[in-house]
Amino acid sequence: MTSPRKRAAATVALFAAGALALSACASGGGGGGAAAPSGAAAPTPTQDTQAVSKITVGTAQDSTGPAAPEPGATKGGTVNMIDRDDFSHLDPARVYLNYNSSASKLFTRQLTEFKTAPDGSLKLVGDLATDPGSTDDNGKTWKFVLKDGIKWQDGSAITSADVKHSFERLFASFTPEGPPYAEQWLLPEGEKYTGPYEGKHLDTIEAVDDKTIVFHLNSAHTDFNFTVAMTGFGIVPEKHDTKEKYDKMPYSSGPYKIVSHVTDKSLDLERNEFWDPATDPIRNAYPDKWHMEFGVQSLQSTDRFIADNGTDKNTMTFHNPVAPERLQQVVNDPELMKRTVRGLTPFTTFFNINTSRIKDVKVRQAIIKAFPMQQERQLQGGEIGYGKYATTIMSPTVLGYEPFDLYGKLAKPQGDPEAAKQLLTEAGQPNPTIVYAYNQTPVQEKVAVAIKTGLEKAGFKVVTKPLNSTTYYDAIGHVDNPYDLYWGGWAADWPTGYTALAPTYDGRQIADQAPNYSHLNVPEINDAIDKAAAITDPVEAGKAWAAVDRQIMEQAPIVPEAYQTYFGLYGSGLGGVKFDIVTGEQSPTDVYVKQ
């Protein structure tokens, strides 16, 4: 029996292919943004900071390789990548964090992927498939044909049998962390399935021949070709499937293969000689090697990028932003600004309130009222380095987004302890104790102090609990976790209200490692999600989801924090370092070492 999270399903009617779609999920790391000192001038970004405004579905021609060349790029050399954490998961079936997805682009391929144009627009194209897929019954049956010349790192051909195996293994008990959509849509109602390892296979996935794979969904989903662009649906070879061990050393279908992985220390990649650029419209793969080191905090990486010495000239980061202590220095230095990457990510960040532990809505509302948004955001970068104040669940990038501020946070972002005290009095709990769990990093240690101080002004007794940053989401992902308040981030898997709200606030999807981290389960909200999901008109659906957003916020399951931005540095010896508007991080696909 697969995990409850992957079995749970709400009725959903997604938009037609061609609607906006962003890869998303929980933001990696648990609050690691940069910080801005008081008075820092607004930087001049090296890239457009606006949200993606256009996504189209490409053709077979758009799906051919090689990828568009990066002007001035040369092949060869080694690119170094430094970051705070090792990747929590590399098995594609377990990848649902943007940081893990960034690394996976180098060695994992999917049926489809997004190609980014110079103007920031995205086009869905075939990655392993010859095109973005086809359906002749409005999205209930999907066919993909694999390209010629796609191979595994041992030179064997990638076949439809590999694709079938990859989707069937999503149901295994050891892959609970990835996106749930395929499992929800490929299993007939009432049936149970535990994966292919005991010889049982799904009739709903049909390997017609070596090149053709057909998916028979249990209901129409016109965005299924967008779904399979997620790293969580990357392919795994049956012959080299090591089950649980696959998470540390996945087999390559991309331009690089893993040659060494020392947990929490380093990851080394070398060229996959059997990757054919003619099959790949996404990845340029200019470097010969990648060397990745972990355990580097944002202040350390920022100082190394500023100094720009030795091999650090050829170094970048995926996730680490410019550190709080250095933001003004970077902003005021034109030469450093030439080596910055900045953009609006698809993520809304927030602090989950564990509703299974804090049951009184007035106490939860008091937490929101008292919460020191201004103080903690300033520590993480202010508006420049972290993002604009959030007061809703849906991001401005989601169709139907409507701004509202139920708790007056924009008027009093520093917190309103008196209003919070009144709510606690009404709840009959003037001095409740709450446990705040956080990532044990230098920045988050400071943030924890600010939050504790702000909440205690309202009468709360706050116990702080530091967690290991690498396993942070694993710790808070347990339904019976012992924490009351903990950070999180989410972006819609497609920018519709369904993927922004249903996975995170549908009470029927509560399970260990499920994204409903606040454990909200309100029947009226579950019903409202179903009704909104049944609306096929995009504009009307957007209005319905905005109403659900407000309905959820009335229950106070989170403290909205920021519509998040990214602002990072890299070494002077690299070119082609860009902001990935899908993951909200620095992209590895066009990076090259300057000669």
Cα–Cα distances (Å) from 358 to 8, 349, 365, 473, in that order, read 24, 20, 11, 20
What's the confidence (pLDDT) of residue 54?
Answer: 61
Question: Could you tell me the domains of the chain?
Answer: 343-565 (3.10.105.10)
Give kind and range of the element (H or E) at residue 585: strand 585-587
Q: Quote the tokens at residue 9.
A: 């399903």
User: Which of these ranges, 71-85, 288-302, 490-504, 573-587, has the smallest mean pLDDT?
Assistant: 490-504
Three-state DSSP string of 192-246:
CCCCHHHCCCCCCEEECCCCEEEEECCCCCCCHHHHCCCHHHCCCCHHHCCHHHH
Please tell me the distance from the alpha carbon of residue 586 to that of residue 100, in angstroms, as a whole number: 12
Backbone φ, ψ for residue 287 (5° rounding): -70, 155
Whether 421 shows a pLDDT value over 50: the answer reads yes
pLDDT single digits (tens) 281-319:
999 999 999 999 999 999 999 999 999 999 999 999 999
What's the confidence (pLDDT) of residue 35?
Answer: 27
What's the confidence (pLDDT) of residue 180?
Answer: 87
Phi-psi region of 31 (alpha: psi -120 to 50; beta: other; left: phi over 0): left
Mark 349-387 as b/e (b = at least 16 C-beta within 10 Å): bbbbbbbeebebbbbbbbbbbbbbbbbbbbbbbbbbbbb
Whether 41 shows a pLDDT value over 70: the answer reads no
pLDDT single digits (tens) 356-406:
999 999 999 999 999 999 999 999 888 878 899 999 999 887 778 899 999
Q: How many CB atoms lie within 10 A of CB 93?
A: 29
Q: Which amino acid is at 98?
A: N
DSSP state of 247: G
Is residue 333 within 8 A of residue 100, CB to CB? The reply is: no
Is residue 569 within 8 A of residue 333, CB to CB? The reply is: no
What's the confidence (pLDDT) of residue 28?
Answer: 38
Please tell me the distance from the alpha carbon of residue 429 to that of residue 99, in angstroms, as a whole number: 40
Please tell me the distance from the alpha carbon of residue 268 to that of residue 494, in angstroms, as a whole number: 32
When pLDDT is averaged across residues 88-102 and rounded to a whole number, the result is 94
pLDDT single digits (tens) 444-483:
999 999 999 999 999 999 999 999 988 999 999 999 999 9
Phi-psi region of 235 (alpha: psi -120 to 50; beta: other; left: phi over 0): beta
Q: Which amino acid is at 174?
A: F
